[in-house]
Amino acid sequence: MTDHEIVVRPIETADELDAVKEIYRTQKALLGFFPDEAFQQRADAKQILIAWSDSDAAGYVLFATNQRYEVRITHLCVKPDYGNRKIAKQLIAALVEAYPNRSRIRLNCRVDYEAAGRYRRMGFSELRRFPGKKQGGSELIAFALAINETPLFDALDEPSETATVVCDTMVCIDIEDQDRPHHKASSGLRADWLVDEINLKVTPGIFADLGRQAEPLRSDMISAVKTGWDQVAADHLEVERQLREVRQIMGEPKDDSSASDQRHIAIAAAIEAAAFVTRDEEVLSFREQIQSSLGLRLLPPAEFITEYDAVLNSHRYQYRELSRSGIERRRVASIDEFDLKCFIDSAGGESLKVFRAELIAMLAAPREWEIYRVCSRSDECIALFAIRILDGGARDIQRLRLSRRLVGTRFGRILAEYFADQPLGAWRSGQRRTVTISDRFATPLVLGACSRRGWCQADGALWRLSLPGQWSQDSLSAELSAMSDSGIVPVEFAEQISRSVDIDHNRLGNEVETQQLERLIHPGKVTFGQLPTWVIPIQPRWAQELFDFRLWDLPLFDPETSLVINPDSAYYKSPRQGPSTPFGRILWYVSGDKRKGGGRVRACSTLTKRVQGTVKNLFREFQRFGVYEWRHLMENFKDADAQGLAIEFTSTELFETPITFEVVNDVLESHGMKRQQFISAVLIPDSAFQEIYSRSTQREH
């Protein structure tokens, strides 16, 4: 074959996606089942890189980024004709270049595959071995290639929680019986790339279901389940509570089969399973109501494989649970207020005696240290922070712990995201400062969340910079240079942000880079680039649920608690009333009664996603944020198949001075726009945003 230059890039067209699927079909026997919908989703997410030799597709890598800050490879395929062209090595190099701040690249490979040797030659190291789950499958090797080697990622090598996925009886039979028509789709749940991401289980009730099957299927399946499947164990009282909710939704069971289905679902909900996988169309007809009420996804096998990343995120984060928890923070006055044993890492060599002595010394120096505990209605201490106050307003979080009782729970995962978004007491709007996390025993769950939320690794610690105000490109560069020269921040950290500053932000196509820069200096805003700003109307009811605790009629939270503000959330609009770009800034105009906080622009957020589709599909994708229940969408849209728009946003900043309807319109007029009623999203000029934002950060006198 003639040597042409190899070019690696994300796929861009339907024809290119077809070329990828054609390569996949040549190796499908090795790779296992992967639905067309899953290919399309990864293509839309720019998670397929294709290698081109002239006009010929030579190979591709299909991947995802997960919550452990890894790039996880699902497929790495090269056409046989290109076996000597080092295509795989170039695809891996392109991944490293595209994700320099991720921890590592991960993949699973069978021991008996020739590719296992190639991965070693490309620099991958063997993490561990474990049995494969496919019929006839051999032992698997978990390989990893480090991208960002830092001690803070050491916790990634510790055993991680694997999400439980409960299969109903028919899916279980499909997987075990190769002659069934749905075997290929269902057995995709046991693909090598998924085997250490999910733990397939069944409920004890499966044996009653199998007992109703004819021989020899009954005996064969009972034997297969006993020897090859784990069964879930759930608290009886919790199962009964969940079962009552299931029956309120699905009605009283008509027969033994429907009674069994309902109990399977109740058990899956009781153990906080990531999903319940079924092909039963009658059961799936209740999927939105079950998800809204119980937080459990019901999915057919192929759809689970397509949406597995969103499913696992949904399993990890449901902010509704946090909003109902009544959490608050309290300044620690004495270490006798709580049980210290819940916060030490004895397995890592940390001593209770030393930990206790360290906290006592911190409490004896209140001008230097701030120590907080986070409490819920049911627990006097669920998290602990010890923050050292440094010169110039900097903060060093030297103790950052989540109670061991919450590790592995959904509530614990939610708290980790909140703490990472804005550690309590670490900074407040209007103050320029740096924040570091230097606790070598910090809870890995929280460290992982920090890595996802704009923290950078430097000098063996995690760093976050808060630069409030508005910055030109020159002034921001000068500020970073000054901070680096004076030793306020490490050179490596300043350089990471400077690289984001120095790109051509005025070039169309670089809007996402401008958005990422603002995330790195949050709550700071830049006055350069092509980042659009939208004024979006929102009802007071949803503003208070989504971001603004000041609008609560009966506050559930301590007003000083930063955790009131969701790091991420989603808001639903009709397609004609929402923004037309998938990124940008949002100025939230809260409508309604002025006496209750309405008629003002009250906050600014970062727009991170815009998805249009049927209401039922939008709910499935964004329900993890937990504010909206299915009934709320039905009240607004009336029809599950109606077209809607979901707006995902993050990094919300509440304004010191909310801007009135009249003042906003005066500003818009002064910048050449007509006065607006803000019935739908309004795109405004950069100059108008800068003036509104400047006014919003001025304190009222």
Rounded to whole angstroms, what are the CA distances from 699 to 360, 393, 525, 658, 692?
Answer: 38, 20, 18, 10, 13
What pLDDT score was predicted for residue 430?
59
State both tokens at 8: 């690696």
Strands in 395-402's sheet, in edge-to-edge order, are 328-331, 369-375, 383-389, 395-402, 433-437, 461-466, 456-458
What pLDDT score was predicted for residue 455?
83
Residue 103 φ then ψ, to 5°: -75, -45
Contacts of 453 (CB under 8 A, 6+ apart): 417, 420, 421, 567
Which residues on adjacent β-strands are paired with residue 164? 199
Q: What share of the chain is helix, strand, coil (3-state, %, to 5)?
A: 40, 25, 35
Can you give the pTM of this predicted structure? Answer: 0.76
Element (H, E) at 104: strand 104-110
Q: How far apart are CA 682 and CA 263, in angstroms?
A: 48
Q: How far apart are CA 196 and CA 433, in angstroms?
A: 40
Closest CA to 279 of 367, 171, 197: 171
Strands in 584-590's sheet, in edge-to-edge order, are 568-573, 643-660, 600-614, 584-590, 533-538, 682-684
Query: Is residue 666 classed exposed, middle or buried when 0-12, 13-18 and 19+ CB atoms within 10 A define those classes?
Result: middle
What pLDDT score was predicted for residue 556?
38
The upper half-sphere exposure of residue 463, i.e. CA atoms within 13 Å in the direction of its Cβ, equals 22
Local structure of 331: helix, strand or coil: strand
What pLDDT score was predicted for residue 601?
94
Q: How far apart are CA 395 and CA 427, in angstroms?
A: 8
Gyration radius of the chain over CA positions:
26
Q: How far apart are CA 692 and CA 650, in angstroms?
A: 20
Check: CB of residue 163 under 8 Å from CB of residue 197: yes
Q: How far apart are CA 598 and CA 601, in angstroms?
A: 8
Strands in 48-53's sheet, in edge-to-edge order, are 6-10, 48-53, 56-65, 70-78, 104-110, 139-146, 125-131
Kindly list the averaged pLDDT for each block of 10 residues, start to end, along the chain of length 701. Answer: 75 93 91 91 90 90 82 92 82 90 86 88 89 72 82 53 90 94 92 89 95 92 93 92 95 94 95 93 93 88 88 64 66 86 86 92 91 80 88 84 81 79 55 83 80 79 88 95 90 90 89 89 92 93 73 42 59 92 94 82 92 89 77 88 92 87 96 94 96 83 41
Rounded to whole angstroms, what are the CA distances from 362 to 356, 369, 374, 397?
Answer: 10, 6, 18, 12
